Amino acid sequence: MFSNAKLNEKIAFTLLKIATGMVVAFVMVILYYIISNGYSVINLEFITSMPRNRMTEGGIFPAIMGTAYLIVGSMAVALPLGILSAIYLNEYAQSGRTTWAIEMAISNLAGTPSVVFGLFGLALFVKYLGFGPSLISASLTLALLILPVIIRASQEALLTVPKEYREASLALGVTKWETIRRVVLPAAIPGMITGAILSIGRVAGETAPILLTGAAYFLPRMPDSIYSQFMALPYHLYVLATSGTNIAQTRPLQYGTALVLLIIVLCVNIVAVSIRSHYRNKIKR
């Protein structure tokens, strides 16, 4: 009986280890395929030149720039809005119906599929407000998509600031806002930045929303205003892989594009995680 339980345990733990090994293997296999196949394609020319010959040759420069514009545009809107919302929710809001409504809205926005955000952006920004399929429509759509992420990260950062700091400042006859601005925010900023950086990765990788709000199949030039259409890395990869002029021949370009996208996203994650751990160690001191 006793040895039976021991045997069961051994089997169960082995299975758990196999499961974990499988998941690690998934990560490794995906990274391996993209990196090993994309690695030889990436060079300065690939990154800095325009696609040529119906996108079967040349580089991905406009797609990289388009993605960069989207990051700047959506962060410019979502970051201030998200941080201010988080300050309101954590520092000012009384528990009540309004706060409940805000919290509920945030968690539902966070769970809404990105393609639905795309439809919303299409209906509101592209059609109703008349921005057309454009950088601004796509940036605003992505801004709404990452708003919940930034709010949640900022709220968590604010929660790590000890209550004692606030009390000490208030007891010195300092107003609530001055207390937040001079004591609470400086302590919370690193955590907020971590959240913001992670959502950059999200913006860089989202495809469905920009597909509906302004990403172009192919553009032989750079966008010249916020009302222009644009190319973007994830959509470019999709186009090359599924509906390009010569899918098999452009396989290397596809791997290269996927790798550039992956590098952007992984770098962003590494930066965010290292800021977070640096900051955590500082707190422990």
Partner 1 sequence: MSNRYLKEKGIESLLFASGAVAVIALFLLCIFLFRDGILLFSEYPINSFLTATKWYPTAEPAHFGILPLFLGSVIVTIGAVIFSVPLGIAVAIYISELASPKISNVLKPVTEILAGIPSVVYGFFGLVILVPIIQNTLELPTGQTALTGSIMLGIMALPTIISISEDAISSVPRTLKEGSLALGSTKWQTIYKVTVPASLSGISAAVMLGIGRAIGETMTVMMVTGNSAVIPGFPSGLFAPVRTMTATIALEMGEVPQGSDHFHALFAIGSVLFITTFIINIIANYVKKRYRFNL
Partner 2 sequence: MPENYDNGTEVEVRDLNLWYGENHALHDISIDIPKNSVTALIGPSGCGKSTFLRCLNRMNDLVKNCRIEGKVHIDKQNIYSKDVDVVDLRKRVGMVFQKPNPFPMSIHDNIAYGPRIHGTGKKNIRGVVEEALRSGALWDEVSERLDKSALDLSGGQQQRLCIARTLAVRPEVILFDEPCSALDPISTSKIEELILELKKKYTIVIVTHNMQQAARISDYTGFFLTGELVEFDKTEQIFESPREKATEDYITGRFG
What gap in Å lies between CA 93 and CA 87, rounded to an integer? 9
Q: How far is the CB of 251 from partner 1 (least distance, A)?
A: 7
Q: Choose the stretch contacting partner 2; rule: CB under 8 A; options: 11-19, 58-66, 173-181, 249-257.
A: 173-181
Nearest Cα residue to 254 out of 240, 265, 244, 274: 240
225 binds, among partner 2, partner 1, none (CB under 5 to 8 A by kind): none
Q: How far is the CB of 120 from partner 1 (least distance, A)?
A: 5
182 binds, among partner 1, partner 2, none (CB under 5 to 8 A by kind): partner 2
Could you say whether residue 170 binds partner 2 (CB under 8 A)?
A: yes
Q: How far is the CB of 155 from partner 2 (least distance, A)?
A: 18
Q: Choose the stretch contacting partner 2; rule: CB under 8 A; options: 32-40, 68-76, 131-139, 183-191.
A: 183-191
Could you say whether residue 174 binds partner 2 (CB under 8 A)?
A: yes
For the chain, the residue count is 285
Beta bridge partners of 146: none
Distance of CA 150 to the CA centre of its chain: 10
Q: How far is the CB of 46 from partner 1 (least distance, A)?
A: 17
CB 59 within 8 A of CB 49: yes
281 binds, among partner 1, partner 2, none (CB under 5 to 8 A by kind): none
Could you say whether residue 167 binds partner 2 (CB under 8 A)?
A: yes
Nearest Cα residue to 215 out of 236, 228, 233, 230: 230
Instruction: Assign 228 to helix, strand or coil.
Output: coil
C-alpha separations of 256 from 47, 233, 237, 267 in Å: 9, 11, 9, 16
Closer by beta carbon to partner 1, 101 or else 283: 101
Residue 248 phi, psi dihedral angles, 5° rounding: -70, -40
Could you say whether residue 96 binds partner 2 (CB under 8 A)?
A: no
92 binds, among partner 2, partner 1, none (CB under 5 to 8 A by kind): partner 1
CB 196 within 8 A of CB 99: no
What gap in Å lies between CA 76 and CA 90, rounded to an integer? 22
Beta bridge partners of 51: 58
9 binds, among partner 1, partner 2, none (CB under 5 to 8 A by kind): partner 1
Q: How far is the CB of 163 from partner 1 (least distance, A)?
A: 19
Could you say whether residue 168 binds partner 2 (CB under 8 A)?
A: yes
162 binds, among partner 1, partner 2, none (CB under 5 to 8 A by kind): partner 2
Q: From the CA atom positions of the chain, what is the Rg in Å?
A: 23
C-alpha separations of 47 from 6, 62, 80, 114, 153 in Å: 57, 9, 31, 28, 32
26 binds, among partner 1, partner 2, none (CB under 5 to 8 A by kind): partner 1
Pairing of strands 51-52, 57-58: antiparallel
Return the residue of 3, 4, 53, 95 that touches partner 2, per CB under 8 A.
95
Q: How far is the CB of 42 from partner 1 (least distance, A)?
A: 15
- Which residues of the shown chain bind partner 2 in the complex (CB under 8 A)? 94-95, 162, 164-165, 167-175, 178, 182-183, 186-187, 285
